[in-house]
Amino acid sequence: MAKITLKKEKASRIINRGLLILSAAIVVLLLIGTIYAFARSPSAQPLFSAKTRQSQSSASNQNGDVRVFAGLGRLRIPLSNSTTLLLTITFPYPANDIPFTEELAAKLGDLKAAAAGYFSALAEPDIIQIDEDTAKQEILKRFNAALRLGRITTLYFSDMLVID
């Protein structure tokens, strides 16, 4: 019985010493960090920051890079007289505006519905001779009404075909 008690006491001493050494190491690290924080300049950049990494990775975007949003793809819009309009809508947006880019991706359905709603509401004579500039302005208004974090300034139509 004495041997078992000695082994438990020895194990408990080892654990206690290990915890004491670990506690001392944590206290030393905290002291070093505190001294470094007081010695550091108040205007210095943070050592560990997601913003710092993001700003370094997006430094190339600071010069006003522009991308073209083509996420709407080719729209197939059924028109009032059993014809179909095939249309691709694209537009430029600032590459460094990440929140606006995420909003565009999140609102794809709303943007497609806005374009489809405009064209499907056109009267039959207007479908045959669609005024592209008027259509762009109206869709631009509808797109910007759906967006909150940015604005679209220009729209481009490509593959604009009316199929019987």
Cα–Cα distance between 60 and 149 in angstroms, integer? Answer: 22
49 within some domain:
no
Asked if residue 125 and residue 74 are part of one domain, the reply reads: yes
pLDDT for res 63 = 56
* 3-state SS class at 92: strand
Asked if residue 70 and residue 31 are part of one domain, the reply reads: no
Domain carrying residue 9: 2-44
Going by pLDDT thresholds of 50, 70 and 90, the confidence category of residue 56 is: very low
Nearest 5°: the CA angle 90, 92, 94 is 145
137 within some domain:
yes
The yes-or-no verdict on residue 5 having pLDDT over 80 is: no
The yes-or-no verdict on residue 62 having pLDDT over 80 is: no
* 3-state SS class at 90: strand
Asked if residue 112 and residue 40 are part of one domain, the reply reads: no
Structural domain count of the chain: 2
The yes-or-no verdict on residue 16 having pLDDT over 70 is: yes
Asked if residue 115 and residue 77 are part of one domain, the reply reads: yes
Asked if residue 74 and residue 39 are part of one domain, the reply reads: no
Q: Is the Cβ–Cβ distance between 72 and 112 less than 8 Å?
A: yes
pLDDT for res 3 = 63
Asked if residue 147 and residue 103 are part of one domain, the reply reads: yes
Asked if residue 77 and residue 28 are part of one domain, the reply reads: no
Residue 55 CA, distance from chain mean position: 15
50 within some domain:
no
Cα–Cα distance between 86 and 119 in angstroms, integer? Answer: 11
Cα–Cα distance between 79 and 84 in angstroms, integer? Answer: 6
15 within some domain:
yes
Higher pLDDT, 98 or 122: 98
pLDDT for res 21 = 96
pLDDT for res 27 = 95
- Count the alpha carbons within 13 Å of 55 in the hemisphere toward its beta carbon: 7
pLDDT for res 142 = 94
pTM here is 0.59
Higher pLDDT, 84 or 59: 84
